Amino acid sequence: MANKVERDEVTGVETTGHEWDGIKELNNPLPRWWVLVFYATIAFSVVWWILYPSWPTLTGYWGGILGSNQRLDLDRRMAEARAAQAQWLEKIATLDTEAVAADPELLSFAMRGGEVAFKENCAACHGLGGAGQFNYPSLADDDWLWGGTLADIEQTIRHGIRFYDDPDTRDSQMPAFGDILEREQVEDVVQYVLSLSGRAEDGEAAARGSEVFAEQCAACHGDDGRGMKELGAPNLTDGIWLYGGEPQDIRAQILKPRHGVMPAWQTRLEDEVIKMVTIYVHNLGGGE
């Protein structure tokens, strides 16, 4: 039955001889345009195989007679980009950060390079854009523990803070006052520190605390509590807190101070990268 040519009665078209539930399939020829396009794509692919990398061979692959190859193109473009960067990096290597920042073209290159390096190396602690987080200072305000000039920032980044593998690291230790002060003196000085940002709960205690402060704290935090950058002692008057500004936070720092550690980058990042990230941090919004 399948071999017998059968014609549909209505259209007169041959059927394929297949039948499902009384429905027969007509054997219409493919449209001519479709067949032509089909042959054209085959011809096109043959030409393409010859021109471009295509078939695997026993030892590798057919490379195409045009010699075009996106992987090689990419390598070439990367090499070009590196060569272009090298020019900028060489200049940055010979200049100090002040001079780099003074040249608008170098500055914009350094800002981009610095941003990438910051995201890779610093954002984990300091937050994206240097926004900071609890225990890690914001680098985007104009409040600096250790100083916000280009030179200060570069020094901090190169040698770190309390990072004793580096002999030039920034260092200072706030003493633990639990053994030095009486319990009441601690409470008094907590009130005094609160009063520096207008938040004392007990004025008399704060007044007593001011004497304790002058004796025990002013050497590092300054007579007026505005801090001292040579020692990384924070300004206690500005409402910006590294370890929190509530009475219990201040008490905790007095009794059992934290000593923030920041790694030194001198040995981990290339010289040019340190300069670029210095300039980036300086430009985050709070450079001095």
Residues that bind ligand HEC (CB under 6 A): 121-122, 124-126, 136-137, 139, 144-146, 153, 156-157, 161, 172, 174-175, 177, 189, 193, 216-217, 219-221, 231-234, 236, 241-243, 250, 253-254, 258-263, 265, 277, 281
63 vs 226, beta carbon nearer ligand HEC: 226
110 vs 281, beta carbon nearer ligand HEC: 281
| CA-CA-CA-CA dihedral for 220, 223, 228, 231, to nearest 10 | -10
Work out how close the CB of 221 gets to ligand HEC at its nearest, in angstroms, rounded to a whole number.
Answer: 6
Burial degree of 197 (CB within 10 A; 0-12, 13-18, 19+): middle
95 vs 220, beta carbon nearer ligand HEC: 220
67 vs 239, beta carbon nearer ligand HEC: 239
* Residue of closest CB approach to ligand HEC: 260
CA distance between the termini of the chain? 96
Q: Which of 278, 266, 270, 286 is nearest to 96 (CA)?
A: 278
75 vs 246, beta carbon nearer ligand HEC: 246
d(Cα 130, Cα 126) in Å, to the nearest integer? 5
88 vs 138, beta carbon nearer ligand HEC: 138
Work out how close the CB of 102 gets to ligand HEC at its nearest, in angstroms, rounded to a whole number.
Answer: 20
d(Cα 201, Cα 192) in Å, to the nearest integer? 9
Residue given tokens 């539930």 in the structure block: 21
d(Cα 139, Cα 131) in Å, to the nearest integer? 6
Work out how close the CB of 205 gets to ligand HEC at its nearest, in angstroms, rounded to a whole number.
Answer: 13
Work out how close the CB of 87 gets to ligand HEC at its nearest, in angstroms, rounded to a whole number.
Answer: 24
Work out how close the CB of 277 gets to ligand HEC at its nearest, in angstroms, rounded to a whole number.
Answer: 5
Work out how close the CB of 188 gets to ligand HEC at its nearest, in angstroms, rounded to a whole number.
Answer: 10
Q: CA distances (Å), 30 to each of 8, 25, 34, 35, 36, in order?
A: 18, 14, 7, 7, 10
d(Cα 157, Cα 23) in Å, to the nearest integer? 82
